Structure 1
Amino acid sequence: MAKNIIVSNRLPIQLTKVDNSFRFTPTSGGLATGMNSVHQGQESLWIGWPGIDDDEAP
C-alpha cells in the first residue's frame, strides 16, 4: 500500500510551552483543514514546523 508524505511549513497541531510542560493544540484554517482528511484517511506522514523554536522544544 502506498504511503502519503505531506511536507509543509506548518503541522495540523501547534506546540506551546506552558510552564514546564507542553500543550498540543489543533490548528485551523487553510492547509491544516484541507490536508487533514488526506492525512487521516490512510497511512501517511506529515512533516512540518510545530510552531515552537528548537530552544523551547522538549
Structure 2
Amino acid sequence: MAKLKITQVRSRIGSSKVQKATLDTLGLRKMHQSVEREGTPSVLGLVQAVRHLVTVEEVK
C-alpha cells in the first residue's frame, strides 16, 4: 500500500457534523495540518468524503 500525505487546506467551519467527524478520524484538527496514512480502502473512503477540504499527495 502507498503512503498518503493528507493536508487540510480549507476550514471545517460551516461543514456538517459528519464531515467534522471524518476530519477528526483522519487526525486533522487544524488548518494546514498534515498526517500520513496508509492508502487503505477505508482511508480512501474517508478522504473521498472530505475531498473539498483536503489535498492528498503520495509519499515515496
TM-score of the superposed pair, with normalisation by structure 2 = 0.29
More strand by share: 1
TM-score of the superposed pair, with normalisation by structure 1 = 0.30
Structure possessing the higher radius of gyration over alpha carbons: 1
